[in-house]
Amino acid sequence: MILLLLVVGVAGVLNQSTASTTTTPSTTITSSTTVIQDGGVQVFGLVSTTGSGTHPVSMNFTSLRTSTNFVALVSSGQFSIQLPNHDTYNVTTGWGGSYAWQRGQVTAGTVSLNMSSGSNMAQSDNLNLPTPDSVVTVNGTIPWQVVASHPVNVRFTASDGENFTAGISSDDTFSLHLPNMMDYQVNIQSQNSTGYQEWYFAHTLQVTAGVNVLGLLVRISL
């Protein structure tokens, strides 16, 4: 059984604010952007993510009038893109984590462009968007029932082959940090009175902590 400890956060939305925000490292991706020949509005701003170890990768604007998608890559927490005037766009932000498999999309609201003739044809939007943490704290207990031995280590083997091991204390508890959004095979190492050690397969665990999840509590039994 897995219990989640939740803390409440506030999601960012598109706005007209010019307040500064903390930027995060960027990741380069390959994408395409529709070229606007005339009548375009320059939309630019700052974007960041709340999850520890995550960063924004792209800003995606989908026209409500034509369903056309426009993509701006994020570099050092900044984006800039030219969009057709007199339209409203659904906006999403692509994000990545500290590990290659950690990526997703978060809704960033809508933006409406209706610039009048003679204006500077530019609009600034600053965002701080909710994402899950890249690494999650896992605390657990092991109700040991094997006679004449006691548990000494617990090992989590990720589906990509990485191993994460934690020692088990005398009260049969443990704590470690695991990459989020990953499946693990859990094994427990025991030791008897002669010092002989043996590994036991316990079960599999899927770590998928969402936004604002502080950590996971697990109970592992054979």
Q: Do 170 and 118 belong together in one domain? A: no
The letter for the amino acid at 36 is: I
Q: What total number of domains does the chain contain?
A: 2
Q: Do 190 and 142 belong together in one domain? A: yes
pLDDT of residue 160: 93
Distance separating alpha carbons of residues 194 and 82, to the nearest angstrom: 72
Alpha carbon dihedral 12, 13, 14, 15, in 10-degree steps, equals -80
Q: For each of the chain's 222 residues, which pLDDT tens digit applies?
A: 222 222 222 233 332 222 222 333 333 222 333 334 446 899 999 999 999 999 999 999 999 999 999 999 999 999 999 999 999 999 999 999 999 999 999 999 999 998 887 666 677 778 999 999 999 999 999 998 888 899 999 999 999 999 999 999 999 999 999 999 999 999 999 999 999 999 999 999 999 999 999 899 999 887
pLDDT of residue 28: 28
Q: Do 139 and 117 belong together in one domain? A: no
Residue 152 lies in domain: 135-219
Mode of pairing for the β-strands spanning 213-219 and 135-141: parallel
The sign of the CA dihedral 110, 26, 44, 36 is negative
pLDDT of residue 124: 74
pLDDT of residue 204: 94
Would 161 be classed as within a structural domain?
yes
β-partners of residue 197 are 191
Domain boundary among 98, 129, 160: 129
Alpha carbon dihedral 172, 177, 180, 186, in 10-degree steps, equals -40
Domain boundary among 129, 153, 178: 129
pLDDT of residue 173: 96
pTM of structure: 0.76
* Contact between 192 and 203 (Cβ < 8 Å): no
Rounded (5°) CA angle 152-155-156: 155
Domain boundary among 129, 161, 194: 129
pLDDT of residue 221: 84
* CATH number of domain containing 154: 2.60.40
Q: Do 123 and 69 belong together in one domain? A: yes
Q: Do 119 and 146 belong together in one domain? A: no
pLDDT of residue 125: 75
